[in-house]
């Protein structure tokens, strides 16, 4: 045997072994049945919704990335007595610098919001802890955050992933478990507070309570927001017809930094990841703003700088749960061929109140006149992760389609969060953590290999 053939065979064996990490096992439907706390919202007088005291005290504090590359944050907060100064003092040890924000307020039916402040804090140094202070005198409140490492292909970074959170005891358990993890920023997959389950003015009140509930995490690390169906708030019977009205006033996004015209559709780069946020509930067919913006944004992805390409959307494109089955089909038809062409690493979705992880499959060969109609294994396809079970008041979606489709690798109906630990340009360790009756349990783990850097040489592809 020539040494070339020998080394090729070694490579081949290595490839087969490594590919087993992601492919080829039969899908698993977990038999775990969790005991559920009742899926009811926590009463408003519970201490998890405690209102900060003091004259005009800042409330509902949350931060998000404020620019394209992670050197800015947007600090958002609400004051209820007077519009007040909109000032954030910040610094590396003392809060000697300051930034001025903008103030907005709105009504929803007869509910009047507080004064909502959004303050861009920019020009920050990478990989640095900053302290910040908001409010005055006895009402002042202090928090801190870490900026991400600079954009670098081997920058290690851990994202938390939470979807469909709501404000029940299960939601609280998910949030507390996440806060014990090493997560540095949250990719939030839509459906924040489920306030739209309420009537009239209670809708606005439950948006407020969720802001106070989530503050324990959102004030200290950026949450990257996407919208779900519970953010649409289309309520013609209340005279409210502007989609996402509550969300857009309260949750700022850095959409202008990625040249988007729509706050619910944008992209950021953070450490070694390029993250694209899509809206399942905004127009996306050919020629619409979202379609054109995405087409453009994909051409800007530079895998030499940010190897990890991650797309977020509320409605999953591959979902074998009975709940919301096939709701993602129209977006799949519009965008799947791009996701395969650009070798997206993962697509993260919520919406279905259960967990599912796919193998790399695609279904782009079919059109209404011809072609193979079934999803097939495709090494260029993303891994689809559905993490729609933060713990909201609608409960779990436990009915799975039988038999389990080939694309489905693992599925279970439990409340949970995930972590995505990017180690370097080739490896990312992904964990799904189920809330096991109040404890944190890791129930699905997989090493994900980068779709750009962890590639077969063209010669091997031909020989295989
Ligand atoms: C916003 O606040 C100002 C000052 O309190 C008030 O006059 C105005 O009516 C409010 N606007 C809305 C839309 O609630
Ligand atoms: C439809 O699929 C068939 C078979 O794969 C292919 O030959 C044809 O070009 C496709 N048509 C379009 C418009 O994509
Ligand atoms: C990335 O990390 C993995 C796991 O620690 C390691 O096996 C691999 O060699 C690293 N790759 C690079 C390019 O550093
Ligand atoms: Fe949803």
Find the 79 Cα to ligand 3 centroid distance in Å: 47
Ligand 2 atom 12, closest CA: 367
Q: What percent of the chain has pLDDT over 90?
A: 83
More confidently predicted of 429 and 441: 429
**Is pLDDT at 76 greater than 50 in this prediction?**
yes
CA neighbor of 405 nearest in space, from 319, 337, 305: 319
DSSP 309: E
Find the 427 Cα to ligand 3 centroid distance in Å: 6
Q: Model confidence at 435, in pLDDT bands (50, 70, 90)?
A: confident
Find the 271 Cα to ligand 1 centroid distance in Å: 40
pLDDT given for residue 33 in this prediction: 62
Find the 368 Cα to ligand 2 centroid distance in Å: 9
Q: Which ligand is nearest to the CA of 204?
A: 1
368 C-beta closer than 6 A to ligand 2: no
Cα distances from 86 to residues 116, 270, 348, 411, in angstroms, run 9, 27, 35, 46
pLDDT given for residue 15 in this prediction: 40
Q: Where are the alpha helices (DSSP H) in 50-187?
A: 169-179
| pLDDT tens-digit readout, 97-147 | 999 999 999 999 999 999 999 999 999 999 999 999 999 999 999 999 999
Least trusted range by pLDDT, from 93-97, 189-193, 324-328: 93-97
pLDDT given for residue 52 in this prediction: 96
pLDDT given for residue 37 in this prediction: 64
> Are 422 and 160 within 8 A, CB to CB?
no
Find the 126 Cα to ligand 4 centroid distance in Å: 34
Sheet with 141-146, edge to edge strand ranges: 97-100, 87-91, 129-134, 141-146
Query: How far does CA 389 lie from the centroid of its chain?
Result: 13
Find the 89 Cα to ligand 2 centroid distance in Å: 59
User: Residue for token digits 């990017």?
Assistant: 422
Q: Which ligand is nearest to the CA of 365?
A: 2
107 C-beta closer than 6 A to ligand 1: yes
35 C-beta closer than 6 A to ligand 2: no
Q: Fold for domain 11-50+153-463?
A: Purple Acid Phosphatase; chain A, domain 2 (3.60.21)
Q: Which residues line ligand 3 (CB under 6 A)?
A: 423-427
Find the 403 Cα to ligand 3 centroid distance in Å: 37
- The residue-averaged pLDDT of 138-165 equals 98
- Which atom of ligand 3 has the smallest separation from the CA of 423? 2
- The residue-averaged pLDDT of 304-319 equals 98
- Which atom of ligand 1 has the smallest separation from the CA of 113? 14
Q: Model confidence at 93, in pLDDT bands (50, 70, 90)?
A: very high
pLDDT given for residue 439 in this prediction: 57
pLDDT given for residue 8 in this prediction: 43
Least trusted range by pLDDT, from 203-217, 275-289, 365-379: 365-379
> Are 224 and 420 within 8 A, CB to CB?
no
Q: Model confidence at 74, in pLDDT bands (50, 70, 90)?
A: very high
| pLDDT tens-digit readout, 26-49 | 788 887 666 556 789 999 999 999
The preferred substitution site among 337, 367, 368 for testing ligand 2, maximizing ligand atoms within 8 Å of CB, is: 367
371 C-beta closer than 6 A to ligand 2: yes
| pLDDT tens-digit readout, 400-427 | 999 999 999 999 888 889 999 999 999 9
Q: Which ligand is nearest to the CA of 337?
A: 2
Find the 78 Cα to ligand 1 centroid distance in Å: 14
pLDDT given for residue 55 in this prediction: 94
The preferred substitution site among 106, 112, 242 for testing ligand 1, maximizing ligand atoms within 8 Å of CB, is: 112
Burial of residue 20 (number of CB atoms within 10 Å: 0-12, 13-18, 19+): exposed
Q: Which ligand is nearest to the CA of 448?
A: 3
**Is pLDDT at 1 greater than 50 in this prediction?**
no
Q: Model confidence at 389, in pLDDT bands (50, 70, 90)?
A: confident
The domain spans of the chain are 11-50+153-463
Q: Which ligand is nearest to the CA of 429?
A: 3
Find the 96 Cα to ligand 4 centroid distance in Å: 42
Find the 337 Cα to ligand 2 centroid distance in Å: 13
- The residue-averaged pLDDT of 270-288 equals 98
Ligand 3 atom 5, closest CA: 423
Q: Model confidence at 237, in pLDDT bands (50, 70, 90)?
A: very high
Q: Model confidence at 2, in pLDDT bands (50, 70, 90)?
A: very low
**Is pLDDT at 21 greater than 50 in this prediction?**
no
Q: Three-state DSSP class for 217?
A: helix
User: What does the alpha-carbon distance between residue 401 and residue 26 come to, in Å, rounded to a whole number?
Assistant: 15
Mean pLDDT of the chain, nearest integer: 91
40 C-beta closer than 6 A to ligand 1: no
Q: What percent of the chain has pLDDT over 70?
A: 90
């Amino acid at each position: 045997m020539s040494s070339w053939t020998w080394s090729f065979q070694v490579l081949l064996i290595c490839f087969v072994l490594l590919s087993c990490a992601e492919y080829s096992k039969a899908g698993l439907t977990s038999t775990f049945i969790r005991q559920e706390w009742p899926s009811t919202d926590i009463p408003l007088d519970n201490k998890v919704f405690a209102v900060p005291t003091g004259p005009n005290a800042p409330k509902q504090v949350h931060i998000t990335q404020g620019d394209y590359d992670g050197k800015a944050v947007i600090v958002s907060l609400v004051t209820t007595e007077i519009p007040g100064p909109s000032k954030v003092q910040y610094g590396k040890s003392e809060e000697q610098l300051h930034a001025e924000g903008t103030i907005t307020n709105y009504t929803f039916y007869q509910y009047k919001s507080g004064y909502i402040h959004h303050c861009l804090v920019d020009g920050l140094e990478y990989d640095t802890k900053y302290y910040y202070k908001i409010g005055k005198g006895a009402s002042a409140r202090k928090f801190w955050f870490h900026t991400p490492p600079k954009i670098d292909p081997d920058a290690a970074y851990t994202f938390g992933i939470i979807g469909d959170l709501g404000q029940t005891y299960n939601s609280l358990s998910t949030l507390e478990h996440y806060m014990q993890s090493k997560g540095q920023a949250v990719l939030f997959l839509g459906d924040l507070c489920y306030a739209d389950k309420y009537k009239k003015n209670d809708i606005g009140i439950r948006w407020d309570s969720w802001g106070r509930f989530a503050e324990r995490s959102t004030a200290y690390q950026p949450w990257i927001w996407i919208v779900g169906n519970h953010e649409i708030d289309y309520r013609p019977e209340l005279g409210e017809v502007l989609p996402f009205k509550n969300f857009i006033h309260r949750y700022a996004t850095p959409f202008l930094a990625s040249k988007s015209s729509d706050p619910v559709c944008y992209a950021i780069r953070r450490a070694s990841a390029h993250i694209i946020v899509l809206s399942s509930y905004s127009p996306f067919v050919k020629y619409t703003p979202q379609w054109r913006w995405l087409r453009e944004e994909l051409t800007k992805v530079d895998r030499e700088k940010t190897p990890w390409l991650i797309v977020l959307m509320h409605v999953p494109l591959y979902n074998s749960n009975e709940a919301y089955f096939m709701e993602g089909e129209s977006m799949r038809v519009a965008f799947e061929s791009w996701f395969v062409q650009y070798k997206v690493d993962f697509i993260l979705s919520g919406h279905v109140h259960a967990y599912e992880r796919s193998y790399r499959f695609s279904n782009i060969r079919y059109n209404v006149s011809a072609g193979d109609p079934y999803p097939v294994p495709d090494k260029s396809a993303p891994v689809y992760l559905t993490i729609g079970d933060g713990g909201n008041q609608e409960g779990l979606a436990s009915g799975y389609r039988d038999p389990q489709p080939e694309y489905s690798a693992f599925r279970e109906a439990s409340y949970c969060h995930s972590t995505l630990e990017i180690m370097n340009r080739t490896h990312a360790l992904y964990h799904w953590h189920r809330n096991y009756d109040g404890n944190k349990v890791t129930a699905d783990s997989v090493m994900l290999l980068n779709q750009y850097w962890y590639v077969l040489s063209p010669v091997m592809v031909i020989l295989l």
